[in-house]
Structure 1
Amino acid sequence: MIITCNTNALNKAIQTAQRAIISKPSTPIFSCIHLFTQEGKLSVQAMDLNMAISCTLDADITQEGEIVVSAKHLSELIRKLPSETLTIAKNTENKTIKVTSGKSEFQLLLMNEEDYPKFPDFNGDKTITIADEKIKELIKKTIFSCSNDESRPLFTGILVEAKDNKITFVGTNTHRLAIKSLEQETAEPMSMIIPSKVLLEISRNLTGELPQEVKISLLNNQIMVVIDNVVIVSRLIEGKFPDYNRVIPAKFAVNCKVNAKELAGAVERVALFSTEGDYSIVKLSVTAEELTLTSSSPDVGTGRETIACAATGDKLNVAFNSKYLLDILKNIDADEINMAMNTSLSPVCITCEAEKDYIYIVTPVRVVF
């Protein structure tokens, strides 16, 4: 194999593909990256047992062929090359490649390409095509609610439902729940739990100035995502996702309208005086016209701030993990939000008039006021 291509284009393709490689691969071959020529293009592939990513790019192909090389060493080398173009030439006799760029020349050892698994061949039963701006919004507004706990894999992904000309993304870690829906023409109903890692990859690849479409195909417990010259194949998360509609209370005793930016700023400041760690707790006291936030720590001190609100119902005291409040306040596109509550320990529903298709449920923390 002998190819010449743009250094930045190859670097981008390698950086994208190698995100499929996990930190501790099950076998050495999964720490490698696969480059091969096909139909006048250069393909770059990487994979593990759960996800595979392929990128194609333009290249001047002098001699067809393929190589399998350490992803870490090749990516670091390509990233630091000084010239705009590079040439990769394979030496079959000593199982190396020579990488030349400007006056630089390097040799890297190769792995046996016959040992590298074949990229998944995919012909989905169901397919949905979503505009880039639409899927970016769906991901952004739900993915932060996912869990990072791999011992509970069901909650490390997003439930994606497409039916009745609507697509809905749902993320939860059992302590909070984000639901975002948008209009979407669908040929047939689809339901799947997509790993958050895959959705992050989709977002990363939607950076073009021109509008793009994301094509998602479903086959058994796998999906294939196609975005321009990038193909992602992944296993879905198996299991039954909780009935998220049951979590939303039918009615509320207290409704509090408050400015989203003012509340976010107050939460950030008051949380500085809360105990450090995963649960930085902020207490809220809701009255008809004021929302008072407090927190304290024996090691730091006490924080207290009052902002204006418009509330109906009796006075209510409720406490939250400050991060759970800030996450929604930073993702909701509205000047004013509504916090609907029943008791100090029942689920709180945060919505806004400007975005009625977005619902956030958060469970309060049990504290002493």
Structure 2
Amino acid sequence: MEIKINQKEFYNGIQTVRKAVSTNNALPILSGILIKTEKDKLKLVATDLELGIECTVEANILEKGAVVLPATYLANIIRELPKEKLKLKVNSNNNTKIEFKRSQFKINGSPADEFPLLPEIESGINYTLSSAFFKDMINRTKFATSQDESRPFLTGGLLLIENNELKMIATDSYRLAYSNSRLDKEFKNSEVIIPSKTLEELSKLLTSEEEEEIKVVITENQILFNFLNITLISRLIEGQFPSYQQVLPDSSKTEVEIDKNQLLNATKRASLLAKDNSNIIKVELKDNFLIIKSNSPEVGESYEQIKVDQKGENTEIAFNASYLIDVLKVIEEEKVLMNLSGSLNPGVIKEIDNNDYIYIIMPVRSA
């Protein structure tokens, strides 16, 4: 194989696929990136057998071929090269020479036929969505997924299409993020759980351009995303996602309208002195003031008041500060609504005049 390729485009392609490179040494070939000529382009592929990413890059193909190169060494080398045309030349032993001007690197590669092929997904349930719209739904829910592998069905986000609505829900049983949107055309109903790693990589790779689209294909145990010059294939998580409808509240005893940034910054400050390592803060609503308190017996305590627009009775509740910070960081509105119903019931964060995004935080029992 012999090609000429622009350094910047080559490096961007490597960075795109390397998120799927395996860190499991049980299969050393998976620590590499498959580099393969395809017509007048260069295809880059990486997989850990759970997630696979491939992309194509413009290149001048002088001689067709394929090779697997170690991802870390390849990325580090290409990153440091000047932004100009590079030449890649692979011999019959898969030894690869990278040349530019009077300099060169040599990397020992592996046979391309040892690299596992990504599954061919040609049929299934098909959707075409706005890239920006889908990216936004992911960002507003993915942080609420669980890290507890003993309950795998919570380690991903539920993608649900029903009654001409698209919903994404994530929960770790201590908080729940729910995002809903009406679709402008009719789609077939489906319900799948997408691994959190897949959601994280999609969030990074998708653009926020309104005109860009993403094609989604769902099969029994896999999901494919195709956008721009990128294809991402992921396994789906088996299991039954919890019945989130039972958690969504239909009323509250207290509703507060509050400046989002004031609440975010006050919560961050309070978390600096949160009790022990549990990150607990106390929130008290009293006569149109929201009071945030925290304390650590060995260090000190904090107290802060924020003027709010309160409807309903005074109340107090304790939260994990991180759970409150997480949602406030993804809401773009200047003001948010906080709905409370006492110290033992979940708290709810919503956007004003928008019931399509709901975030629920379980209270913490605090002395």
Q: What range describes the TM-score normalised by the shorter chain of this pair?
A: over 0.9
1:204-219 alignment runs, 5 A limit: 204-207=204-207, 211-219=211-219
SS in 2 for 1:345: coil
Distance in 2 separating the partners of 1:189 and 1:120:
24
Higher mean C-alpha displacement, 259-268 vs 206-215: 206-215
Does 2:189 align with 1:189?
Answer: yes
Match of 1:98 in 2: 97
Distance in 1 separating the partners of 2:190 and 2:242:
16
Distance in 2 separating the partners of 1:131 and 1:340:
31
Q: CA deviation at 1:29?
A: 1.0
The one-letter code sitting in structure 2 at the alignment partner of 1:307 is: I
Call closer, same or farther: CA 1:32–1:353 in 2, change over 3 Å: same
Q: CA deviation at 1:102?
A: 1.9
The one-letter code sitting in structure 2 at the alignment partner of 1:299 is: E
1:127-206 alignment runs, 5 A limit: 127-184=126-183, 185-206=185-206
Q: CA deviation at 1:199?
A: 1.8
Identity %: 34
**Contact conserved, 1:128 with 1:186, CA < 8 A, in 2?**
no
1:198-347 alignment runs, 5 A limit: 198-207=198-207, 211-275=211-275, 277=277, 279-347=278-346
Q: CA deviation at 1:210?
A: 7.5
Call closer, same or farther: CA 1:324–1:123 in 2, change over 3 Å: same
Distance in 1 separating the partners of 2:228 and 2:269:
43
Distance in 2 separating the partners of 1:334 and 1:5:
44
1:48-63 alignment runs, 5 A limit: 48-63=48-63
Aligned length: 366
The one-letter code sitting in structure 2 at the alignment partner of 1:181 is: N
Distance in 1 separating the partners of 2:61 and 2:333:
52
**Contact conserved, 2:131 with 2:207, CA < 8 A, in 1?**
no
**Contact conserved, 2:131 with 2:209, CA < 8 A, in 1?**
no
SS in 2 for 1:54: strand
1:56-135 alignment runs, 5 A limit: 56-92=56-92, 94-135=93-134
The one-letter code sitting in structure 1 at the alignment partner of 2:58 is: D
Distance in 1 separating the partners of 2:210 and 2:55:
19
Match of 1:34 in 2: 34
Distance in 2 separating the partners of 1:295 and 1:210:
42
**Contact conserved, 1:255 with 1:338, CA < 8 A, in 2?**
yes
Distance in 2 separating the partners of 1:244 and 1:83:
50
Call closer, same or farther: CA 1:78–1:359 in 2, change over 3 Å: same
**Structure 1 unaligned spans of 5+:** none
Q: CA deviation at 1:209?
A: 5.8
**Contact conserved, 1:340 with 1:349, CA < 8 A, in 2?**
yes
Alpha-carbon displacement from aligned partner over 1:209-251 (angstroms, at most 9, x marks no partner): 6731111101111011101110011101111000101012333
Q: TM-score, normalised by structure 2?
A: 0.95
Distance in 2 separating the partners of 1:150 and 1:205:
25
Distance in 2 separating the partners of 1:43 and 1:208:
24
**Structure 2 unaligned spans of 5+:** none
Distance in 2 separating the partners of 1:326 and 1:38:
46
SS in 2 for 1:357: strand
**Contact conserved, 1:83 with 1:102, CA < 8 A, in 2?**
no
Q: CA deviation at 1:161?
A: 0.9
Distance in 2 separating the partners of 1:8 and 1:329:
35
Distance in 2 separating the partners of 1:305 and 1:238:
45
The one-letter code sitting in structure 1 at the alignment partner of 2:201 is: E
Higher mean C-alpha displacement, 286-295 vs 215-224: 286-295
